Structure 1
Amino acid sequence: MIAGEASGDLLGADLIRSLKHDYPQAEFKGIGGQQMIAQGLQSWVPMEKLSVMGFFEVIKHLPELISIRRFCIQQLLKTRPGAVIGIDAPDFNFKIEAAAKQAGIPAIHYVGPSVWAWREKRLKTIKKQVDGVLVLFPFELEYYQKYGIPAKCVGHPLATQVLKAPTQSFARETLSIAKDVPVTGLLPGSRMSEVHLMADIYIQVAVHIQTIHPKMQFVIPCIHAEAKQRIEKAITDYGSGLKVTLLDQQAQLAMAASDQLLVTSGTATLEAALMQRPMILAMKIHPVSYWIMKRLATTQWIGLPNILAKKTLVPEYIQAEATVQNISLALAKLIQDPKLRHLQLSAFKEQAEQLQQDTSAIAVKAIQHWANL
């Protein structure tokens, strides 16, 4: 099993947990984060080495990524596992899955790539690389059926997991934050490249919001120590006097404690929606990466709540629009406008109901079928 970032680590851990129920003696090897490791995965290299976002950033790390991928292929050919499961990270995982399938090892991809957003024709190649694809959203199935690729919609595990999320009162008690103060969560990303670009902007936005709402407090989950250091530097440079709590990971606890969120794109936008938290989305990537993405994209939105709704529920500030002024104005409006908050929350509730399935149990049955386990 190979995951490349925090969202994949969460999916992988949940899947390992379910697979162990049916196969208690099974061994799990590959690449994963702390959550997969906690479930028993033997990770060959730190998952953070794969957590690279954007075309330019990938090019910079390409030699190391190729070396890691070559090592993974060597290991799977040597050990010949019962199945190879790549979790998201399509540009990294599909080559590994193709090598597995060619060697007669069942190859399954978990989290279909965003073919509905860009590069649909790559499905012609994907058909040759995998034995099946597990997708998270119902609307994705038609794309795979069109190209004759076995696919199963498993729903999104976050939709079920957030039912067990801490309450706001519990989260605030845990973080020693009073129940009656306003709190905004700042989530600058799960990749270091995102944190580097967004940290200064997010802290400056927080300072601006605190001038309007002096009682406002902020919570920021930090994906790892390096991200925490970068955010601490931003606070030193721009956030003197800011009422802010930094957490080691614990993104869900930060969301639970908050009244509203400022989020960088990715699975965090979906988790925020499922937890019924109004939000603003802001994102910057390397200019070359953005230039390429704009020319290949076929959807006008980046946030998953907007893509699911097929309209702009969550205001998006991307690249040049992701300025301190624009984001501050939008966040201030979200804090003060009950109609805007209600509009988001009503749609989020519908999306949660649509995505709540027994995800890992469905995934295990599909894996058993495709891999003949």
Structure 2
Amino acid sequence: MSVAERTDGPLIALVAGEASGDNLGAALIAAIRERVPNARFVGVPGPRMREAGCEALAASDELALMGLAEILRHLPRLIGLRRRLVRELLARRPAVFVGIDAPEFNLGLAKRLKAGGLPTVQYVSPQVWAWRQGRVRGIAESCDRILCLLPFEPAFYAEHGVTARFVGHPLADQFPLEADRAGARAALGLSRDEEVIALLPGSRMGEVSRLAAPFVGAAQRIAAQRPGVTFVVPLTSASTRACFEAALGEASAVSGDVASRAGALGLSIKLLDGQSRLALAAADVVLTASGTATLETLLSQRPMVVAYQLAPLTAFLLRRLGLVKVRHFSQPNLLVGREIVPEFFQEAATPEALGAAVLQWLEQPQRLGELREAFGLVHRDLRRGGAALAAEAVLELVDLTRSQ
């Protein structure tokens, strides 16, 4: 008897670590419910997963950490949370555990749950092919299968004897093949003909605290060369907004509102509460932190400049131990297979370098045709109905569990 034919719904455990994981988890819950309407969900959900009906054992923002240094700083609390989840989930015996991104936390949790007899899935591969490749042995011990969002990942896992499946990327299904620039500008109160730069300094406090100042400095340099340019800055939370506002204040030495601070810097700037997709569709060029935002920018077919700054200790360890194994770190360059957008790591991400790279996109519009063609091909390749394929892979394990 398949799980869909049983009257008692399976319990599925999910743990998501940040906003992008919450989006994936909510889409996965919806896709599972289409196939198994009485399925039940428990774990560490974000707001969207909670709305979809996932019972919360803890808040997902407890896991929204970035880099080795931040994880080490919060290690005692994370260990305590993981122990509590192991106890609760082994007591409740879900049919399957799905860790959604957040590999630093989820893989350790999955290893303990698998040792306790639960099937385990990691949804979103850690970038083990890029750095610290030795982690693949631990992944094999922790997970029954990996659900990959990027097409080149299963081949890497196959070389190491790990079961992995490319399910496409749900974001590719959510974004139209052609972004509605005019509609986005109208929604944000921007005119059709003004020059618009989107600044996306990250979704986590660690990212924003490191990138806000260089992004503000880059904006100053761009505005000095392009009078009349408007900057839109989508921010994910009250705390990240306050962090960016503080960077404006420090740069301007003005303590007034955002308009006063920006005006003192010669900037026309709009801070947005969320609305990142509108900002991307409206933009001529995007200056963004590395991460999911780079993929969203690709799917919006917008030229971009990518910056990545880790905590100094994390960056030092990566370099000192020779742990980085790829030439590029941004998803667009990895997916296209060459450097199609400029990327700046750590101390290279200066206001001068970032501003100059954005200006190059504005001053060389002939480069856009090649970029849009390459991004369009990637978009179509990633459009696989990702949430549905992920749901099928998870439910295969549920069927195996409940038939035993």
- Which bracket does the TM-score occupy, shorter chain normalised? over 0.9
State the Cα distance separating 1:166 from its structure 2 match: 6.4
* Partner Cα separation in structure 1 for residue 177 and residue 240 of structure 2: 27
Task: Look up the match of 2:389.
Answer: 362
Task: Look up the match of 2:303.
Answer: 278
2:364 aligned with 1:342, yes or no? no
User: Match of 2:233, SS?
Assistant: strand
Say whether the 8 Å CA contact 2:124–2:148 is kept in structure 1: yes
Q: What do the CA deviations read for 1:219-271 (whole angstroms, capped 9, x no partner)?
A: 11111110001111122332531211111122212111211100110111111
* Partner Cα separation in structure 2 for residue 100 and residue 175 of structure 1: 46
Say whether the 8 Å CA contact 2:262–2:269 is kept in structure 1: no
* Partner Cα separation in structure 2 for residue 285 and residue 329 of structure 1: 22
The number of aligned residues is 373
Task: Look up the match of 2:21.
Answer: 8
Task: Look up the match of 1:240.
Answer: 262
* Partner Cα separation in structure 1 for residue 397 and residue 277 of structure 2: 33
* Partner Cα separation in structure 2 for residue 164 and residue 79 of structure 1: 43
Say whether the 8 Å CA contact 1:165–1:252 is kept in structure 2: no
* Partner Cα separation in structure 2 for residue 167 and residue 113 of structure 1: 32
The alpha-carbon distance between structure 1 residues 334 and 137, as it changes in their structure 2 partners (threshold 3 A), is same
State the Cα distance separating 1:356 from its structure 2 match: 0.9
TM-score for the superposition, normalised by structure 2 = 0.89
Q: Which letter does structure 2 place at the counterpart of 1:23?
A: V
User: Match of 1:120, SS?
Assistant: coil
TM-score for the superposition, normalised by structure 1 = 0.96
* Partner Cα separation in structure 1 for residue 45 and residue 289 of structure 2: 22
* Partner Cα separation in structure 1 for residue 367 and residue 344 of structure 2: 17
Task: Look up the match of 1:264.
Answer: 289
* Partner Cα separation in structure 2 for residue 70 and residue 84 of structure 1: 15
* Partner Cα separation in structure 1 for residue 127 and residue 179 of structure 2: 31
* Partner Cα separation in structure 2 for residue 136 and residue 216 of structure 1: 35
Task: Look up the match of 2:228.
Answer: 215
Tell me whether 25-34 or 197-206 shows the greater mean CA deviation. 25-34
Say whether the 8 Å CA contact 1:165–1:256 is kept in structure 2: no
**Deviation above 4 Å: which 4+ runs of structure 1?**
none
Paired-residue identity, %: 37
The alpha-carbon distance between structure 1 residues 292 and 165, as it changes in their structure 2 partners (threshold 3 A), is farther
2:56 aligned with 1:59, yes or no? no
**What aligned pairs does 1:1-373 form with structure 2 within 5 A after superposition?**
1-163=14-176, 167-238=180-251, 239-241=261-263, 242-294=267-319, 295-372=322-399
Structure 2: gaps spanning 5 or more residues = 1-13, 252-260
The alpha-carbon distance between structure 1 residues 31 and 165, as it changes in their structure 2 partners (threshold 3 A), is farther
State the Cα distance separating 1:272 from its structure 2 match: 0.5
State the Cα distance separating 1:352 from its structure 2 match: 0.8
Q: Which letter does structure 2 place at the counterpart of 1:152?
A: R
* Partner Cα separation in structure 2 for residue 52 and residue 303 of structure 1: 19
State the Cα distance separating 1:342 from its structure 2 match: 2.7
RMSD: 1.6
Tell me whether 245-254 or 10-19 shows the greater mean CA deviation. 245-254
Q: What do the CA deviations read for 1:145-189 (whole angstroms, capped 9, x no partner)?
A: 122222111011111111289622222222111122111100001
State the Cα distance separating 1:309 from its structure 2 match: 2.0
* Partner Cα separation in structure 2 for residue 167 and residue 8 of structure 1: 26
* Partner Cα separation in structure 2 for residue 284 and residue 91 of structure 1: 18
Tell me whether 273-282 or 134-143 shows the greater mean CA deviation. 134-143
User: Match of 1:247, SS?
Assistant: strand
State the Cα distance separating 1:74 from its structure 2 match: 1.5
Say whether the 8 Å CA contact 1:166–1:253 is kept in structure 2: no
User: Match of 1:297, SS?
Assistant: coil
Q: Which letter does structure 1 place at the counterpart of 2:326?
A: T
* Partner Cα separation in structure 1 for residue 101 and residue 337 of structure 2: 23
